[in-house]
Amino acid sequence: MKIGQRWPEDEMYKWGSYFGLAPKIAKTWPCLRFSQYVSNFCSVDNWRNREMLDYVWLVPLFPAIGFLINGLFGYRLSKGFVGVLACTVIGLSFLTSVLIFFDLLQLPPESRSFEKIIYTWIPAGDFKTSVGFLVDPLSIIMMLTVSGVSFLIHIYSVGYMHEDEGFKRYFTYLNLFVFSMLLLVSANNFLLMFVGWEGVGLCSYLLIGFWYERKAPADAGKKAFVVNRIGDFGFLLAMMLIFVTFGTLNFHGVFGAAHHNNEVSTLVMTAITLLLFLGATGKSAQIPLYTWLPDAMEGPTPVSALIHAATMVTAGVYMVARCSVLYTLAPVSLTVVAIVGVATALFTASMALAANDIKRVLAYSTISQLGYMFLACGVGAFSAGIFHLMTHAFFKALLFLGAGSVMHAMAGELDMRKMGALKPHMPKTYWTFLIATLAIAGIFPFAGFFSKDEILWHAFEKNTILWALGACAALMTSFYMFRAVFMTFHGESRVDAEVKKHLHESPSVMTTPLIILAILSAIGGFVGIPIIKGANVFHDFLTPVTGGHVAGSVEVTLGNLAYASSSALSYGEAVQHNVGLEIFMMVVSLIIAFGGLGLAYLMYLKDPSLPRRLVEKFKLLYHLILNKWFVDEIYDFLFVNPIKRGSTVLWQFFDAKVIDGIVNGSGWCIKWTSSVLKRIQTGYVQNYALSILVGAVAIIFYFLLV
Amino acid sequence: MDLVIPKIDALSLCPELVLSITAMLVLLVTVYLPKGRKDPAAYVGLLGIFIALMSLTLLWGKPRYAFNNMIMVDNFSIFFNMVILVTAALSILMSITYLKEEGMSHGEFYALILFSAVGMMFMTAGANLITIFLGLETMSISLYVLAGFLRDSNRSNESALKYLLLGAFSSAFLLYGIAFIYGATGTTDLKGISEFLSRATYMKDPMLLAGMGLLLVGFGFKIATVPFHMWTPDVYEGAPTSVTAFMSVGVKAAVFAAFVRVFSHALWDLQPDWNQLLWILAVLTMTLGNVIAIAQTNIKRMLAYSSIAHAGYIMMGMIASNELGTSSILFYMLAYAFTNLGAFGVVILFGRKGEGNLDIEDYSGMGFKYPVLGLLMAVFLFSLAGIPPTAGFVGKFYIFSAAVKAGYIWLAIIGVMNSLVSVYYYLRVTVMMYMKDPVKDLEGLHWSPSMIVALIIAVAGTLLIGIFPSPYLDLAKQSVLHLM
Amino acid sequence: MTLFFFLLIAIVTVISAILVIVLRNPIHSALSLVLTFFSIAGLYILLNAQFIAAIQVIVYAGAIMVLFLFVIMLLNLEKEKRVSEKHPLQKAFGVSIALFLLGGIGSIVATGVLYGNMGTETAAKVSAVGNTKAIAGLLFTDWVLPFEITSILLIAAIVGAIVLTKKEL
Amino acid sequence: MIPLSYYLVLSAILFTIGVVGVLVRRNAIMIFMAIELMLNAVNLSFVAIGKHLDSLDGQVFVFFVMAVAAAEVAVGLAIIVNLSRNKETINVDEINIMKW
């Protein structure tokens, strides 16, 4: 088949024009020949041009292969090989996703949804769950982002972890992590998504606690795990409820049924979506389950980059966007999502204001940005949320990798108070870090500007208060990020003399990913240009999945409903309607961003004593913020300790003392019984026989009386 | 008075006969083997198990009663017999080196395992309460001895004594229950009981209900439901590890088979009465098992509590009491067999003579020292915890969805919560293996071929059932077709 | 008259059974257990179960109790001491729960009504063939499979007993 | 003709005495003997019920139960003898290495 036929000029879509190179890549990709060969067997329908779509399973498979090889034989392989292999498999995944992406583009928007079912996994009665993959605009964007950013982080890690003893173990976990995440975003049903969901949780645990010899990482890993369990519980319950309500777990099945079937009560829908959202708050670190993420920086820095940017935390946002159909049917849930999102954004941004640890600042900023994404979802602008997810992946990965580069130079120092004036020592790191900061602060024309502005605009349309809170968080973001830049790279050097001698720029294996990410952070926003009709290609691309956001109201459609074009049209009209206002809001956003910049400049460059005076003035607030509002302590007090104690008590109590406990329960003499309880140990046969007897008597009386 | 000897339906008894004969052959063979080199006895036993497995396939798909309705050979019993035979085979494979290391390599061990398996198989096929009782006793008596097989070990002795006393005690209750049911219905034949009950106009005969309750005590003891579970940790801890592995799976499989047959078939008309009670017991069982397991330091004890919890999950399938629920029990049992045997296999392999290396602490750093063994253990623990893509996950999913489908949503929610709790203690072992430095010398692992074979079978089963469960689900579904 | 015999034997049974669990010397306990078994055999005779009565005496009172006595002598057991009773309360509790058990079961069986299907082997029929022959007939026809299972059970038990106690295995 | 309930109540009493014996005696052999008492109580029930129902099955059951009891005693006493060899005691109060 000739290329010209595969890529007809008149059917070109907007995305295609950006990537005119694609056919050439596709041609050189050897798997394609093979795929053409095999696709004759696989496909019966007449979409002749979607060979790569059939191979979507390769995307998660490559990292899985890397994981297996590195995990089973890693201890016999050389370090170099392990590193190269790990990077290669992720690179292959990325390449495959790119090819799939182009194949998807050839389809008309309304049919851009492709399911590839490998086999039926669990047949349970009339209900079947398959191992299958779903390719649609949403999942392909996630696949591209995840595999792309992960690839860069892998390359960076080769340099960063080079000296570490656990090099091989590290890459084994890393591959497993990416595998789970890709599985999560490409699954075609909730159950398979849950497999990835669990895998991601597990890997984050392994990677955060990577340096297990030290107490802090081990604890942080444990915390991440426990908190995520709570979220998983929500997800599981939601799954059960979905299963009961719709009788299937397949995305198309569920969303189709939800869309067409009006019998499902709003209450059930609200319950499902809220439970799903509980799962999302766990994974995506929202209030009240956010506490694990700041501690997660105890892992190696590239892992933080991976967790914060490409994998793990984005899972929650992805899941909410994936279930946009359900959320739209449950307005209450949407409101909850929006409120939680904006509250998280504001709350954690405030925590970042006073943090002195550079990674901690970044961690809080991640939570805050995730809050933005949920705010977007909450106001029904799912595509804006995903847009921000993507741009955030670029600049947050860049920020963390930059911070890692700084750490590398500073011999592991993280305290910004001991930095300063690093700019001349590490120019590449500085410039890339600055670009990322500009992007996250939302300064035109960097990527963050477009996505953040879109969110704020939709929030403004929905509710002015949401907008105001979001804008406030934006101000703080801009402030603390520039504060970090100024404290780290500008001003006077506060670096220890010992460390100062070793200051150096990182090797190119580390700086190259930085530069690539910097480019993406700089121009990544242009795929979603607002206002100009048809220029927001990102939004239009996603519309078939997430529905168009029409001013004032939300309309949602399914992937395979012929809907997209009309929606895009109405969106365009709506945009024109408010063009003046939207431009005004953009300017406001910009002013806010620059305001934060200026404030940071004032306080940390121009007049460094200002912060201390402020601290003295607002001592209480400062301490509250510095101690993370004492949330951890409250959690420990309320939940963790009682559970720990309760388990021990139960354990000793039940097998040892429950029998006497019944005596106790009959309410005789408490003092007398307690002495008995103390004396009586177990391990005695007669204790056990008594337990059997009690059970038997209870059962007999149960039958006699009930 | 003429004696009309019933037709001796040897074909129906084929697997049991093969196994019994093998067991006696093992006893004979072992006499002629030199001291301390009794391996051939084990291989004879394995051969017998293999032949018995083959003979099972002859009977597949042809349900029939035999010996005056004493046994029922149907797909249901064949499925469970398969699980039991696989369990016996894997346990024997795991025992060979283990017994040598403990200095107790005797052919009688394998014979007793086989006798016990024969008892279990009579339980699964039993269509009369007396057959079931005798099968149960055959199984138990062999197990009492096996639990105390390490004659010089105080723990093993203690475990045998506790098991014996409590087992006999609970058997008396079971027997009393049989007596009551006999009195209330006039028969011990399961088919007769169910026919009697479907005819009966009164439902609340207290004698019948009490008999049912006492049966529940007897069965509940063997499968370790709360409050009849207290023997489990002690016996599992003290018994030789390979016997623990065999007990934890085989006994559960056999007793659940009988349990389902008696309750979901013979006593079906009393389902409203026992269902609520089982609900309570299931919740208690899984909750207590999981909660107490958290605080354990000995891995065998921890697995004992975990097996209590698993009994609770399996009971959910009974409570659901529909075809899906029953087939989910079968499937879960299969998944549990491979998983639990595998986990115990690693414990055996990693253990030392006497009480060596049984603390969870001892597993520190094991994952780095022995990457393959660590990975295997991780797979088994994940499967026990119900983390995909392992057999345990599919099993749990299947059981929970059966409960949900039958309308027991709260039960399913409690089950889900429990399995989330359980992840904590399973993962703790994994954490020890991968996130701690060794606390002691980990040298001196005896990789024996038989153990490697056993572990490969176990891990292959665990993963295969987890990733491609549908053939096994079909098998389980076909197995319950003729039951109801 | 039968009622008188029944009551007499019943009282002996209960008293000797109580003696089993209260006497502190194990040998005395075992001997009162023998007495209990004998009187239960008497009850079997009252119930027209001569064969069972016979094997009750031979197997239970004879073989099993001799084994018990043998082991008690072998181990040279001393009297249980009353002092240092470890869990008096638990035992008191246990006894009271056991009384509940008695109450529960007693209230069920005291009605003396059985709803079960009647069998065909009436007393007259059985006495015509003879109790032992009738039981044998059942054992080797209807119950032949359980009978065979018992043989496996006994082999397992024999092997087990030898494995556990033989000096040199 | 003695009413069935007499036998059954007597059997319940014997069973309970057996249960009490299991719970209060400290000597493993004594516990075991108490269990034998329980089994005999059940046997009595079987025979009485069988007679009342005009069925010999009850007596057949007793036959099986006796076989089982004999087997159990053989194994049980072997276990106890073995234990006393190792531990010098068969007092169940002192047999609790494994607990909690």
Q: Domain coordinates of chain B in residue numbers?
A: 11-479
Q: Which chain A residues in 239-298 lie under 8 Å from chain D, judged by CB atoms?
A: none
Instruction: List, in order, residues 6 or more apart from A265 with CB less than 8 Å away.
Output: none
Between CA B41 and CA A526 the distance in angstroms is 76
- Chain centroid to Cα D59, Å, comes to 17
Give the pLDDT confidence score for residue A47 in this predicted structure: 44
Q: For residue A169, name the pLDDT band (cuts at 50, 70, 90).
A: confident
Give the pLDDT confidence score for residue A4 in this predicted structure: 38
> Among partner residues C86, C101, C107, which is closest to A697 by beta-carbon distance?
C101
How many residue pairs from chains A and D have C-beta atoms closer than 8 A?
A: 34
Residue A671 has pLDDT above 50, yes or no: no
pTM greater than the 0.90 cutoff: no
**End-to-end Cα distance, chain B:** 38
Is C98 in Cβ contact with A704 (below 8 Å)?
no
Least confidently predicted of A553-567, B445-459, C79-93: A553-567
Taking CA atoms, what residue in B is nearest to D76? B164
Q: For residue A607, name the pLDDT band (cuts at 50, 70, 90).
A: low
Residue C83 has pLDDT above 60, yes or no: no
Q: Hey, is the C-beta of B175 within 8 angstroms of any chain D C-beta?
A: yes
Distance of CA A212 to CAs A159, A207, A301, A306, B375, Å? 21, 9, 15, 19, 18
What is chain C written as a DSSP string?
-HHHHHHHHHHHHHHHHHHHHH-SSHHHHHHHHHHHHHHHHHHHHHTT-HHHHHHIIIIIIIIIHHHHHHHHHHHTPPPPPSTT-S-HHHHHHHHHHHHHHHHHHHHHHTT----SPP-S--HHHHHHH-HHHHHHHHHHTTTHHHHHHHHHHHHHHHHHHHHHH-S--
Q: Phi/psi of residue B140, each to 5°? A: -70, -45
A244: exposed, middle or buried (Cβ count in 10 Å: 0-12, 13-18, 19+): middle
Q: For residue C81, name the pLDDT band (cuts at 50, 70, 90).
A: low
Q: Which residues of B touch A702 (CB under 8 A)?
A: 213, 277
Q: How many CB atoms lie within 10 A of CB C67?
A: 15
Residue A667 has pLDDT above 60, yes or no: no
What the block records as the tokens of A102 is 């182009």
Which value, in Å, is the radius of gyration of the alpha carbons in chain C? Answer: 20
Give the pLDDT confidence score for residue A102 in this predicted structure: 85
- Average the pLDDT over A133-161 and give the result: 87
Between CA A374 and CA A392 the distance in angstroms is 13
Give the pLDDT confidence score for residue D49 in this predicted structure: 92
What the block records as the tokens of A274 is 């809220």
Give the pLDDT confidence score for residue A16 in this predicted structure: 40
Does the CA dihedral A225-A227-A231-A233 come out positive or negative? positive
Q: Which residues of A touch B434 (CB under 8 A)?
A: 206, 212
Residue A420 has pLDDT above 80, yes or no: no
Query: What percent of chain A clears pLDDT 90, i.e. is strictly above it?
Result: 3
Give the pLDDT confidence score for residue B306 in this predicted structure: 92
Interface probe for C, chosen from A655, A659, A675 (most Cβ of C below 10 Å), is A659
Residue A558 has pLDDT above 50, yes or no: no
Is B131 in Cβ contact with C149 (below 8 Å)?
yes
- Torsion of the alpha carbons at A675, A676, A681 and A684, rounded to the nearest 10: 170
Q: For residue A680, name the pLDDT band (cuts at 50, 70, 90).
A: very low
Between CA D47 and CA B207 the distance in angstroms is 16
Query: What percent of chain B clears pLDDT 70, i.e. is strictly above it?
Result: 98
**End-to-end Cα distance, chain A:** 76
> Among partner residues C89, C104, C107, which is closest to A697 by beta-carbon distance?
C104
Q: For residue B102, name the pLDDT band (cuts at 50, 70, 90).
A: confident
Residue B39 has pLDDT above 90, yes or no: no
Q: Under CATH, what is the fold of the domain D4-87? A: Helix Hairpins (1.10.287)
Is A694 in Cβ contact with B228 (below 8 Å)?
no
Q: Which residues of D touch B188 (CB under 8 A)?
A: 57, 61
Q: Which residues of A touch D22 (CB under 8 A)?
A: 686, 689
Q: Hey, is the C-beta of A634 within 8 angstroms of any chain D C-beta?
A: no
Q: Which residues of D touch C168 (CB under 8 A)?
A: none
Beta pairing partners, B73: B64
- The answer to whether A371 and A317 are in contact (CB under 8 A) is no
Least confidently predicted of A395-404, A609-618, A667-676: A667-676
Closest C-alpha among B242, B243, B254, B132 to residue B181? B132
Dump pLDDT digits (tens) for B192-246. Answer: 998 888 887 666 788 999 999 999 999 999 999 988 988 998 899 889 999 999 9
Q: Phi/psi of residue A250, each to 5°? A: -70, 135
Q: Which chain B residues in 378-417 lie under 8 Å from chain A, judged by CB atoms?
A: 387-389, 394, 397-398, 400-402, 404-405, 409, 412-413, 416-417
Give the pLDDT confidence score for residue A663 in this predicted structure: 33
Dump pLDDT digits (tens) for B109-125. Answer: 999 999 999 999 999 99
- Average the pLDDT over A253-273 and give the result: 81
- Average the pLDDT over C111-130 and give the result: 82
- Average the pLDDT over A302-313 and give the result: 82
Q: Which residues of D touch B134 (CB under 8 A)?
A: 64, 68
How many residue pairs from chains B and D have C-beta atoms closer than 8 A?
A: 114
Give the pLDDT confidence score for residue A44 in this predicted structure: 43
Closest C-alpha among A462, A437, A434 to residue A449? A437
Q: Which chain A residues in 655-694 lie under 8 Å from chain D, judged by CB atoms?
A: 655-656, 681-686, 689-690, 693
Q: How many CB atoms lie within 10 A of CB A64?
A: 18
Dump pLDDT digits (tens) for B302-351. Answer: 899 899 999 999 999 999 888 888 999 999 999 999 999 999 999 998 88
Give the pLDDT confidence score for residue A591 in this predicted structure: 83
Is B213 in Cβ contact with A696 (below 8 Å)?
yes
Give the pLDDT confidence score for residue B323 in this predicted structure: 84
Mean pLDDT of chain B: 88
- Average the pLDDT over A617-634 and give the result: 61
Between CA D97 and CA D100 the distance in angstroms is 10
Query: What percent of chain C clears pLDDT 70, i.e. is strictly above it?
Result: 93
Q: Distance, in angstroms, between A124 CA and closest chain B CA?
A: 7
Give the pLDDT confidence score for residue A209 in this predicted structure: 80
Taking CA atoms, what residue in D is nearest to A680? D93
Is D23 in Cβ contact with A682 (below 8 Å)?
no
Beta-strand (E) ranges in A583-705?
A: none
Instruction: List, in order, residues 6 or more apart from C166 with CB less than 8 Å away.
Output: none
- Chain centroid to Cα A467, Å, comes to 23
Give the pLDDT confidence score for residue A218 in this predicted structure: 75
Residue A548 has pLDDT above 90, yes or no: no
Which value, in Å, is the radius of gyration of the alpha carbons in chain B? Answer: 21
Alpha helices in B386-408 (DSSP H): 391-405
Q: Hey, is the C-beta of A677 within 8 angstroms of any chain C C-beta?
A: no
Q: Distance, in angstroms, between D34 CA and closest chain C CA?
A: 7
Q: For residue A615, name the pLDDT band (cuts at 50, 70, 90).
A: low
Give the pLDDT confidence score for residue A135 in this predicted structure: 86
- The answer to whether A239 and A232 are in contact (CB under 8 A) is no
Between CA D13 and CA D38 the distance in angstroms is 10
The helix or strand, by DSSP H or E, that contains position A121, with its residue range, turns out to be strand A114-124
Mean pLDDT of chain A: 75
Beta pairing partners, A129: A122
Interface probe for C, chosen from B114, B134, B169 (most Cβ of C below 10 Å), is B134
Dump pLDDT digits (tens) for A46-79. Answer: 444 556 777 888 888 899 999 888 887 877 788 8
Is C122 in Cβ contact with D54 (below 8 Å)?
yes
Q: Phi/psi of residue A135, each to 5°? A: -110, 115
> Among partner residues A651, A685, A693, which is closest to D92 by beta-carbon distance?
A685
Between CA B95 and CA B146 the distance in angstroms is 12
Between CA B182 and CA B177 the distance in angstroms is 8
Give the pLDDT confidence score for residue B203 in this predicted structure: 64
Check residues C80 and A196 and name the one with the higher pLDDT.
Answer: A196
Least confidently predicted of A26-30, A200-204, B203-207: A26-30
Between CA D30 and CA D16 the distance in angstroms is 15
- Average the pLDDT over B145-173 and give the result: 91
> Among partner residues A683, A690, A693, which is closest to D99 by beta-carbon distance?
A683
Q: How many CB atoms lie within 10 A of CB B8?
A: 13
Residue D44 has pLDDT above 90, yes or no: yes
Q: Which chain B residues in 77-136 lie under 8 Å from chain A, judged by CB atoms?
A: none
Give the pLDDT confidence score for residue D85 in this predicted structure: 85
Q: Hey, is the C-beta of A659 within 8 angstroms of any chain C C-beta?
A: yes
Check residues A395 and A506 and name the one with the higher pLDDT.
Answer: A395
What pairing do the DSSP bridges indicate for beta strands B71-73 and A553-554?
Answer: unpaired
- The answer to whether B307 and B224 are in contact (CB under 8 A) is yes
Q: Hey, is the C-beta of B183 within 8 angstroms of any chain D C-beta?
A: yes
Residue A614 has pLDDT above 80, yes or no: no
Residue C41 has pLDDT above 90, yes or no: yes
Interface probe for D, chosen from A653, A684, A693, A700 (most Cβ of D below 10 Å), is A684
Is C153 in Cβ contact with B141 (below 8 Å)?
yes
Closest C-alpha among A465, A358, A371, A479 to residue A409? A358
Interface probe for A, chosen from D26, D29, D96, D98 (most Cβ of A below 10 Å), is D96
Q: Distance, in angstroms, between D34 CA and closest chain B CA?
A: 9
Q: Phi/psi of residue A124, each to 5°? A: -125, 100
Give the pLDDT confidence score for residue A578 in this predicted structure: 65
Residue B31 has pLDDT above 80, yes or no: yes
Does the CA dihedral A442-A448-A449-A455 come out positive or negative? negative
Q: Distance, in angstroms, between D93 CA and closest chain A CA?
A: 6
> Among partner residues A209, A232, A648, which is closest to B420 by beta-carbon distance?
A232
Q: How many CB atoms lie within 10 A of CB A618?
A: 12
Q: Distance, in angstroms, between D4 CA and closest chain C CA?
A: 5
Give the pLDDT confidence score for residue B141 in this predicted structure: 94
Query: What percent of chain A clears pLDDT 70, i.e. is strictly above it?
Result: 75
What the block records as the tokens of A686 is 């007669």
Closest C-alpha among B295, B294, B339, B334 to residue B314? B334
Between CA A679 and CA A226 the distance in angstroms is 36
Q: Which chain C residues in 41-60 lie under 8 Å from chain D, judged by CB atoms?
A: 43-44, 46-49, 51-52, 55-56, 59-60
Give the pLDDT confidence score for residue A670 in this predicted structure: 36
Query: What percent of chain B clears pLDDT 90, i.e. is strictly above it?
Result: 48
The helix or strand, by DSSP H or E, that contains position A127, with its residue range, turns out to be strand A127-135
- Average the pLDDT over B26-46 and give the result: 89
Beta pairing partners, A675: none
Beta pairing partners, A128: A123
Beta pairing partners, A250: A189
Q: How many CB atoms lie within 10 A of CB B347?
A: 23
Least confidently predicted of A113-117, A546-550, A630-634, D90-94: A546-550
Q: Distance, in angstroms, between B327 CA and closest chain A CA?
A: 10
Give the pLDDT confidence score for residue B307 in this predicted structure: 94
Give the pLDDT confidence score for residue A659 in this predicted structure: 34
Taking CA atoms, what residue in C is nearest to B121? C149
Other chains touching A, judged by 3 or more CB pairs under 8 Å? B, C, D
